[in-house]
Amino acid sequence: MKNKEKKRNFLNKMDDIYNDKNIHLSEKTKKEILKQTKDLVDNKTNINYASYHLYPLIKNESYDNESENLDEFLKLILKYRWKSYFGMILGSAFSGFR
């Protein structure tokens, strides 16, 4: 899958979660979803860092809501989130050599 397709798929999943009437999201989660959606559309962030920011909120929401859409989105977030951690760790590993 190409990056544009991945991004479109990720944005569609966020839209599905946000607009699902059976999922009761907190205001904090809704605001973060809107912020990450706006940043992704404006190319200010990428899927990996959006996943990094959304993970703790979606994880908490998955405890409060039983939804297949939410569980699928959480799996998708986990798939992309590790890349942001790897980038942060790798970047900091070489910062001491300057």
pLDDT score recorded for residue 62: 93
Give the pTM.
0.81
pLDDT value at 7 more than 90: yes
Among the listed residues 21, 5, 58, the one whose alpha carbon sits nearest the alpha carbon of residue 36: 58
pLDDT score recorded for residue 3: 85
For the chain, the average pLDDT equals 87
Tell me the average pLDDT across 9-36.
95
Question: Greater confidence, 92 or 5?
Answer: 5
User: Cα(95)–Cα(80) distance, rounded to whole angstroms?
Assistant: 24
